[in-house]
Structure 1
Amino acid sequence: MQISDERKIRLMYRVEPGCLGPDGANHIEDFCRFANKHIKSPHYGLFVFLPRYDKQKDERQYSVNSRNLSQVQAKAYLNHFDIDIDNFEEQLDELLVKAIDLYFKR
């Protein structure tokens, strides 16, 4: 099933510099560019990885067509594709860990 980009769920994932170790602040911008290039988005969504400098902002922000979704709305959207949001987020976290390992091995 083909979904137009404006109908896809967009996940803005703000990555903590600390995830990259004690000198993560020196790598976070480059790592996010790396992650955006190497972590493939699913057919129903778009991933965007950004540094998380502001702790006031959520680590994950879902949206569709530039409209932010609550966690309940995001869960309902993913349920439409028979996807459990908790499993989805857990798998994405695992992809992020693998991307961090790949980033430092380049």
Structure 2
Amino acid sequence: MPLPKLTLLFRVEPGCLGPDGPQHIAPFCTLAMQLFPRLEPDRVQWQIVPRHDKRLDELEFHLTSRRLSEEQASQYLAQTGVSLPQLRERIDETLARLVERYLASLD
């Protein structure tokens, strides 16, 4: 029986879209939700939302209805053959490419 997917709540800073980021962050997150599910589709379920409150973590992990610490999420992902540091790197790379594409589409 396969393990349930880890839900990864990813909060994106409006500032990554420049000074007009707050007006673009909602459509950007909608676009990101079309691309990010391609990263580890068998292991991770994505939720991408704006990060309006900097006190909230950029990444939050859940399994079923239980919140996991980063260490617990790392251990869980390791059971499925995924390294959390490698996944973070892929998230950062994907976000950077998507920001570039999005900003280019505004010109």
Q: Could you tell me the TM-score, scaled by structure 1's length?
A: 0.88
**Percentage of matched positions with identical amino acids:** 37
Partner of 2:101: 102
The counterpart of 1:38, out of the listed 28, 35, 38, is 35
Q: Secondary structure at the match of 2:46?
A: strand
| RMSD over equivalenced CA pairs, Å | 1.6
**Aligned match of 2:92:** 93
Number of positions where the alignment pairs a residue of Structure 1 with one of Structure 2 = 103
Q: Secondary structure at the match of 1:53?
A: coil
Greater than 3 Å deviation, 4+ residue runs: none
Distance 2:102 2:35 in 1: 10
Counterpart check, 1:70 vs 2:69:
yes
Change (3 A) 1:100 1:2: farther
Instruction: Tell me the secondary structure at the aligned position of residue 76 of structure 1.
Output: helix
Q: Structure 1 CA distance, aligned partners of 2:2 and 2:81?
A: 16
Q: AA paired with 2:96? A: V
**Structure 1, residues 17-44: CA drift from partner, whole Å, max 9, x if none?**
0011111111001100010012224111
The unaligned stretches of length 5 or more in structure 2 are none
SS of residue matched to 1:47: strand
Structure 2 residue matching 1:58: 3-state secondary structure? coil
1:13–1:61 Cα contact (<8 Å) kept = yes
Give how far 1:66 is off: 2.0
Residue number in structure 2 paired with 1:57: 56
Letter in 2 for 1:95: T
Gaps of 5+ in 1: none
Tell me, in whole angstroms, the C-alpha distance in 2 between the residues paired with 1:32 and 1:66.
23
